[in-house]
Amino acid sequence: MTSHIARLYVAAGSLLALFLAWAGIAAHPWKVQPAADTTAAQAQALATYEARLRSDATLLKQLGPTQPSSAPTRQVRIVTLPPLTATRTS
């Protein structure tokens, strides 16, 4: 093939075929799509989770504070340390 125009058309067609194949493979047409009726199941799971959170909150209110208010609190100390440097002169 000595024609430069033909080589350009073959190169352009090859690139087009490559990108079309790439897009087709990236679309995953062989995978099965999940059913669209998952919103009811998600709503039920959310309602169950909310009910559990509410029951846990009422249980925590019944138990009261976990630490007595007369317990001493720890003081926080901020300590500054010298910088860690290692130098060799030889």
Segment-wise mean pLDDT, segments of 10 residues, the chain, 90 residues: 89 97 88 73 92 94 72 80 75
> Residue 15 is encoded by which pair of tokens?
């690139």
pLDDT, position 77 = 87
Calpha distance 55→62 (Å, rounded) = 11
Calpha distance 12→7 (Å, rounded) = 9
Task: List C-alpha distances in Å: 74 to 67, 71, 77.
Answer: 13, 10, 9
**Model pTM greater than 0.75?**
no
Q: Where are the domains of the chain?
A: 1-27
